[in-house]
């Protein structure tokens, strides 16, 4: 155990720090078609190295973009199920609603169902949107290319995408809004509409479903500006109503609302009662949400100094932290940060954690590990020549069975790591 507490694994540090950049650089995007539909709206056909077929995106530019040199925030506006990238301009009046706003609106495509995730057997939509499309937009247009200049919004399945992307990549987006959002994939009615190849059977692959589920990922949303708007499917409302789909997504949205409330995470909750799963409501939702989004862009919040991040991924980066866990099976892990003073990691297997903090090159630090499994162990670690440092974190034997499968016994260890520079280094 002591060698874990004192090792400075510099070679592994370099490999782990390079991993996110390598993933983002994998392949690229080629524009193979372009149509200007109006003075503000352009439609693009893209070839991606990640997708089997060409895909499309519509981009709304602010008025006077060509004559300006300023940079603009970006709203990624996501379509719902059984629809595509054209729907927000064809039926959602996105062009008229954003007229006069200093805002770029990007409307990408995804599958008609099971969108905004990497399919277990199928297209990697999330990886395409996050590692290819967002960087391509920042390269191709004068964007505010940082967290405070990006937001997500979407309806129904697109609301799932908005909240899901925000929860899995909270360091990339400052705000997210869901309209009639299907944000709870444990809901049986939502599961029935999800293609089998998306996650696999719920009975044997529940961890894959939950690993993309905004309700399960709600803790990751702390520090973001959040809005949810939904009807309840009852008859009535200004534009009509009375449908089962809105009833289902209302239950899903309410589940996320309740979870955020239990965690003490502020958010706008607009449960407007009677209403249906209909475009007039979503147009109204967008109109009401845009001033809130623009205010957030004008007054961006700083990333949280302390945060909790839950994931099923064995390797990830968030807010400058890098984590890699060696374990046999998929399961939840959790990173809880305490700024420069340390962190807590929950899970199983052997982990390597690299905080974003930079120390003087080769600085020595006192490190204290505390866990119920190993007790208290004190040691030292040394920063690399770049000032970064890797902490080896033993979380006990890796669980052999995938979490939630029949007969699985998932045992997780909580390891708290405290760090203090040694004076004079």
Q: Print the domain residue range for 344.
A: 2-17+305-421
Query: What is the chain's percent helix, strand, coil content, to nearest 5?
Result: 30, 25, 45
- Comparing CA positions, the residue from 351, 354, 346, 348 lying closest to residue 419 is 354
Are 224 and 247 in a shared domain?
yes
Binned at pLDDT 50, 70 and 90, residue 1 comes out as very low
Would 266 be classed as within a structural domain? yes
Q: Specify whether the CB–CB gap between 205 and 276 falls below 8 A.
A: no
pLDDT at 24 over 70: no
Distance (Å, whole) CA 110 – CA 128: 10
Catalytic residue among 138, 243, 271, 401: 243
Residues 193-215, mean pLDDT to the nearest whole number: 97
Q: Tell whether 159 and 292 lie within a shared domain.
A: yes
What is the C-alpha to C-alpha distance for residues 218 and 310, in angstroms, rounded to an integer? 9
Q: How confident is the model at residue 423 (pLDDT cuts 50, 70, 90)?
A: confident
Closest CA to 44 of 54, 33, 60: 33
29 part of a folded domain? no
* Angle ∠(294,339,421) on CA atoms, nearest 5: 150
From the list 217, 202, 176, the residue with the least C-alpha distance to 310 is 217
Same domain, 131 and 255: yes
Least confident of 17-26, 158-167, 320-329: 17-26
pLDDT for res 4: 44
The CATH number assigned to the domain holding 280 equals 3.40.50.1820
Residue 16's CB is within 10 A of a number of other CB atoms, namely: 20
pLDDT value at 385 more than 80: yes
Quick check: 15 pLDDT over 50?
Answer: no
CB-facing half-sphere around the CA of 371: CA atoms within 13 A: 22
Say what the pLDDT of residue 372 is: 84
For residue 294, pLDDT over 90 is answered with: yes
- 87-123 pLDDT per residue, tens: 999 999 999 999 999 999 999 999 999 999 999 999 9
What residues contact 123, with CB distance under 8 A and at least 6 apart? 50, 51, 52, 111
Catalytic-labelled residue, pool 48, 156, 180, 333: 156
Q: Are residues 143 and 66 located together in one domain of the fold?
A: yes
| Cα–Cα–Cα angle for 97, 296, 80, rounded to 5 degrees | 50
Check whether residue 74 and residue 206 sit in a common domain. Answer: yes
> Do 166 and 52 share a structural domain?
yes
Query: Which of 239, 266, 298 delimits the end of a domain?
Result: 298
How high is the pLDDT of residue 6? 40
| 273 and 355 housed in the same domain | no
Task: Give pLDDT tens digits for 266-275.
Answer: 999 999 999 9
Residues 152 and 184 in one domain: yes
What local confidence, expressed as pLDDT, does residue 17 receive? 52
Residue at a domain's end among 258, 277, 298: 298
Residues 277 and 133 grouped into a single domain: yes
Q: Does residue 55 belong to any structural domain of this protein?
A: yes
pLDDT digits over 28-73, tens only? 999 999 999 999 999 999 999 999 999 999 999 999 999 999 999 9
**Does residue 347 sit within a domain?**
yes
Q: Is the dihedral of CA 340, 344, 347, 352 positive or negative?
A: positive
Q: Does 27 fall in a domain?
A: no
For the question of residue 138 being annotated catalytic, the response is: no
Same domain for 66 and 7, yes or no, is: no
32 within some domain: no
Say which of 277, 285, 333, 371 is annotated catalytic.
277
Q: Is 277 a catalytic residue?
A: yes
| pLDDT at position 406 over 60 | yes
Question: 184 with 208, same domain?
Answer: yes
Active site residue 156: yes
Q: In terms of domains, do 289 and 316 share one?
A: no
**Total domains, the chain:** 2
pTM: 0.95
């Amino acid at each position: 155990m002591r060698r874990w507490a004192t090792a400075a694994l510099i070679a592994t540090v370099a490999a782990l720090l390079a991993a996110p950049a390598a993933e983002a650089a994998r392949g690229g995007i080629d524009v193979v078609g372009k149509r200007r539909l109006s003075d503000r709206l352009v439609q693009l056909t893209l070839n991606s190295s990640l997708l089997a077929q060409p895909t499309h995106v519509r981009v709304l530019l602010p008025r006077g973009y060509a004559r300006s040199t300023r940079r603009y925030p970006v709203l990624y506006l996501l379509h719902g199920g059984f629809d595509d990238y054209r729907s927000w301009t064809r039926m959602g009046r996105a062009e008229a609603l954003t007229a006069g706003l200093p805002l770029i609106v990007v409307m990408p495509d995804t599958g008609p169902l099971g969108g905004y995730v990497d399919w277990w057997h199928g297209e990697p939509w999330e990886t395409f949107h996050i590692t290819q499309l967002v960087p391509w937009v920042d390269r191709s247009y004068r964007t505010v290319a940082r967290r405070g200049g990006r937001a997500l919004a979407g309806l129904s399945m697109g609301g799932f995408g908005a909240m899901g992307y925000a929860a899995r990549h909270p360091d990339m987006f400052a705000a997210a809004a869901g309209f009639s959002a299907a944000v709870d994939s444990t809901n049986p009615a939502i599961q029935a509409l999800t293609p089998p190849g998306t996650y696999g059977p719920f009975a044997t692959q529940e961890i894959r479903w939950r690993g993309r589920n905004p309700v399960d990922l709600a803790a990751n949303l702390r520090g973001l500006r959040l809005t949810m708007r939904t009807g309840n499917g009852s008859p009535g409302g200004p534009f009509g109503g009375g449908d089962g789909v809105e009833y289902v997504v209302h239950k899903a949205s309410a589940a996320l609302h309740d979870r955020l409330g239990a965690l003490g995470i502020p958010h706008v909750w607009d449960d407007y009662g009677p209403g249906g799963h209909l475009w007039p409501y979503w147009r109204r939702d967008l109109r009401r949400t845009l001033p809130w989004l623009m205010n957030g862009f004008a007054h961006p919040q700083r990333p949280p100094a302390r945060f909790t991040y839950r994931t099923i991924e064995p390797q990830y980066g968030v807010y400058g932290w890098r984590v890699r866990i060696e374990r046999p099976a998929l399961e939840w892990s959790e990173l809880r940060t305490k700024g420069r003073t340390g962190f807590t990691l929950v899970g199983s297997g052997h982990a390597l954690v690299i905080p974003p903090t930079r120390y003087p090159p080769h600085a020595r630090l006192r490190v204290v590990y505390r866990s119920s499994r190993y007790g208290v162990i004190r040691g030292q670690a040394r920063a690399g020549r770049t000032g970064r440092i890797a902490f080896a974190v033993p979380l006990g034997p890796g669980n052999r069975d995938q979490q939630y499968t029949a007969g699985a016994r998932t045992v997780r260890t909580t390891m708290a790591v405290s760090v203090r520079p040694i004076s004079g280094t």
